[in-house]
Amino acid sequence: MDEDSRIIVALDCDNRAAADDIVDRLGDECRFYKVGLELLTAVGPDVVTSLVARGKEVFLDLKLFEIPNSVAGAVRAAGALGASLVTVHGMGGRGIMAAAVDAARDFPALRILALTVVTSMTDEDLADIGVGNPAEEQVLRLARLADKAGCHGVIASPRDVAALRGALGAGALIVTPGVTLHGESPSEHARPGTPRAALSAGASHVVVGRTVTRATDPAAAFRLVRNSLAV
């Protein structure tokens, strides 16, 4: 996998014009974009088909957590849009994750990723919802469950990557949000890391947001992230 394909830019926008502007300014630099709940809710699924029509790959971050039949329907809809990655909550259990995997079989290019522990959550947050394990243990627990359910990989923080790679093996996708360059604020992420550290530990992809999207020159910022991987 070349370096450009490993970097996913998060289009965390609340309107189509802002998202289109980022994609236009990045041009050929970026091949992979994340569309999350904010943008999808604000502008609808056409944003996904538009990106796919431009030759981009789309990580559709739905964080599905519903009854298995509803999850399967949403996955089929994501596949029909042309998404490459879609997320389901690991906390939903094996039945929900397996339903997502089964629904994706009709779309050979679609991969199902299980969200382990949201990168903003701390041990205290987990305790509030009745999870006594620390975050790193809960991440591994849910990742192993996702693997048994047939998921193609997981979403986890950069700090979880090394343990996950050891647990899941070489073939699993490990996608890490919460990456920032040295000196940048981690924002709402409780367990951040640099893109280079995440990939060195075994991540398959890193998700970058404000580092690129709020830069004066997004293309130059993207190149800075890409160059940091080779240092």
- Residues constituting the chain: 231
Distance CA 229, CA 231 (A): 6
Homologous superfamily of domain range 3-228: Aldolase class I (3.20.20.70)
Distance CA 62, CA 50 (A): 18
CB 226 within 8 A of CB 216: no
CB 197 within 8 A of CB 176: no
Q: What is the pLDDT of residue 1?
A: 47
Q: What is the pLDDT of residue 154?
A: 97
Distance CA 168, CA 112 (A): 15
**Is 63 labeled as catalytic in the residue annotation?**
yes
> Which residue, among 204, 198, 191, has the nearest Cα to 134 in the 3D structure?
191
DSSP 158-171: GGGHHHHHHHH-TT
Q: How far apart are the first and last CA of the chain?
A: 18
Q: What is the pLDDT of residue 5?
A: 83
CB 86 within 8 A of CB 112: yes
Q: What is the pLDDT of residue 4?
A: 62
pLDDT tens string, the chain, 231 residues long: the values are 455 689 999 999 999 999 999 999 999 999 999 999 999 999 999 999 999 999 999 999 999 999 999 999 999 999 999 999 999 999 999 999 999 999 999 999 999 999 999 888 889 999 999 999 898 999 999 999 999 999 999 998 888 999 999 999 999 999 998 787 765 555 555 566 788 989 999 999 999 998 899 999 999 999 999 988 875
Q: Please give the model's pTM, rounded to 2 decimal places.
A: 0.92
Of 34, 56, 63, 148, which is the active-site residue?
A: 63
